[in-house]
Amino acid sequence: MSVQDILLEALRITVPLKPLEVVEAPSVRCMCPLNLADVVTEYKNVDSCCSSESCHTNNAMPYSPTELIALLKQDYGEMPWRAHGDPMTELVLTILSQNTSDANSGRAFARLMAAFPTWEALLEADTAIIVEAIKLGGLAQIKAPRIKAILTQVWDRVGSFDLSFLMEMPLGEAKAWLRTLPGVGPKTAACVLLFAFGRPALPVDTHVLRVAQRLGLVSAKTTAEQAHVLLEAMLTPEQVYPFHIGLIKHGRRICKAPRPLCSQCVLQDGCPSALRLTRQRPPSAKRKCCDILNEKKAGREDIATDEHRFNTDIKICDQSVTTSGKNFLQRE
């Protein structure tokens, strides 16, 4: 027997039904998990199962980028672009930031620059020494050879470590050039172009993806790589930087992965996920079928969210580092 057959049988037993009659789906679609509305909308008394507010998600439409940025500015202020360092510095910083906090990657970069003041010195250094210098940032055994391989390729292809030519290339070509380097994906390429050059390339990290999915800007099944294309296409060049910074700040402070603070969220009124994320487990052991299904669906969504989660509170490093390191840490 299928899940829908079981649910339908349960409804026949537990819910007093009016005569069977096919009706049009309600204008406000029931958002019960497992599409329970698809099972019960054939009955006139569908509301007897799904009338409670806890059985529905917010029916709000997603914000437009303009509305979204304006609302986030209320909490986080203006977010003007500022240069974070030269392109090579930005590239190495972003490699160090992969799968760790900004604080740790900033400290690792400061130690790396203290040990190797020039890119030439870093290129000639033994990989084991580089590992030791950046081990504070995590995954040093992976990142050290990756950084050295990038420096080697840049030197072989350009003859220097000056990446300023990327400013003159069409945006798509600049992204593609960077992505040919070892360990450079769409986020790293976008970080270099956005933060070093102010070009409208949108980096999508775990916070940006999570907030965008909860707001309904992209679907829950959208991958980070897909989101780079979809979200960037929604924005004007002037919106890319404040959109990125705003969603990162909001994801870290309010729209957190495990327990979002929806009651404090400036976007709550227009967030399709707000009611679902704040729904509490019913205390009674005798629950409606839709309550049970709500919990099952919420569990599955938590698992999906975990795929994009680094469950770490970001604490900004206040230690004295190089100017480029400080700028990187100030992104938050």
Can you list the domains of the chain with their CATH numbers?
Answer: 1-51 (no CATH), 87-201 (1.10.340.30)
Rounded Cα gap, residues 31 and 50, in angstroms: 9
Q: What is the signed CA dihedral for 34, 40, 42, 47, rounded to 10 degrees? A: -130
* Residues ≥6 apart with Cβ < 8 Å to 216: 61, 62, 271, 272, 273
193 burial level (CB within 10 Å; 0-12, 13-18, 19+): buried
Contact 203, 190 (CB under 8 A): yes
Which pLDDT score, from 0 to 100, does residue 1 have?
A: 55
H runs (alpha helix) in the chain: 3-14, 36-40, 47-50, 65-76, 87-97, 102-115, 119-124, 127-134, 140-158, 171-179, 186-191, 197, 206-214, 224-234, 237-253, 274-278, 289-306, 323-329
Q: Which of 175, 187, 249, 288 is catalytic?
A: 187
Separation between Cα atoms, residue 153 and residue 155, nearest integer Å: 5
Tokens for 22?
A: 């096919």
Whether 143 is catalytic: no
Residue 25 Cα to chain centre, angstroms: 34
CA-to-CA distance for 181 and 228, rounded, in angstroms?
18
Q: What is the DSSP letter of 52?
A: S
d(CA 163, CA 165): 5
How is residue 18 annotated by DSSP? P
pLDDT of residue 302: 37
Beta carbons of 274 and 31 less than 8 angstroms apart: no
pLDDT given for residue 61 in this prediction: 59
**CA dihedral angle for residue 300, residue 301, residue 304, residue 310, rounded to 10 degrees:** -120
> Would you tell me how many other CB atoms lie within 10 Å of the CB of residue 79?
16
Q: Kindly give the confidence (pLDDT) of every residue in the chain, 332 residues in length, as a single tens digit, with 9 standing for 90 and above.
A: 554 555 445 545 444 444 444 334 333 333 333 333 333 333 233 333 333 333 334 455 579 999 999 999 999 999 999 877 799 999 999 999 998 988 999 999 999 999 999 999 999 999 999 999 999 999 999 999 999 999 999 999 999 999 999 999 999 999 999 999 999 999 999 999 999 999 999 999 999 999 999 999 999 999 999 999 999 999 999 999 999 999 999 999 999 998 999 999 999 999 998 877 666 434 443 344 444 444 444 444 333 333 333 332 333 233 333 444 444 444 54
User: What torsion, rounded to 10 degrees, do the Cα atoms 234, 239, 240, 245 define?
Assistant: -120
Long-range (24+ apart) CB contacts under 8 A made by 229-233 are 231/202, 231/204, 232/200, 232/201, 232/202
Q: What angle do CA 218, 223, 225 make, to 5 degrees?
A: 105
The structure tokens listed for 259 are 């327990």
Q: Is the dihedral of CA 77, 81, 82, 84 positive or negative?
A: positive
pLDDT of residue 40: 32
Structure tokens at 73: 């500015």
